[in-house]
Amino acid sequence: MLDQQNGVNFADFFMSAFLGCRLADDAEVRTKQFTDSSLRWINNVDNHELKTQYATALLAYMHSQETTFQATDFATSFLRSEDQDSYLTSLPDEVSTGVIEKTLGLLHG
């Protein structure tokens, strides 16, 4: 018999490790993760003019009226073709593919 304290740990183990289930990630967390990862990549661009262009594009993209975003959409719309693969592979798996609901609550400014 499980006591209350161990029951939570058992439930977490059963859901994640045994069944392989995860709770859906919060849209705010995914939005922040995408933005932070994108900025890290942009900050490593050697060409100052391109760095400025990409940072401005990211800001415009995230503040557009669209309610969702997609990394591949950003890459193909705003990055030079020779930079797209490098950018997309630099992103965490959670935000590099798929459509994500845009929620700016965790972003500053």
Q: Which two tokens stand for residue 22?
A: 């995860």
- Can you tell me the distance from the alpha carbon of 77 to that of 109, in angstroms, rounded to the nearest whole number? 23
Distance of CA 75 to the CA centre of its chain: 13
The pLDDT tens digits for 10-58 are: 555 555 565 655 544 588 889 899 999 999 999 999 999 999 999 999 9
Kindly indicate the confidence band of residue 109, based on its pLDDT and cuts at 50, 70 and 90: low
- Reduced to 3 states (helix: H, G, I; strand: E, B; else coil), residue 100 is strand
State the first-to-last Cα distance of the chain, in angstroms, to the nearest integer: 51
Q: Which pTM does this prediction carry?
A: 0.73
Distance CA 60, CA 65 (A): 10
Q: Are 72 and 88 in contact (CB under 8 A)?
A: yes
| DSSP-derived secondary structure letter, 17 | I
pLDDT tens-digit profile of 67-84? Answer: 999 999 999 999 999 999
User: Where on the phi/psi map is residue 20: left (φ > 0), alpha (ψ -120 to 50), or beta?
Assistant: left
Residue 2: what pLDDT?
45
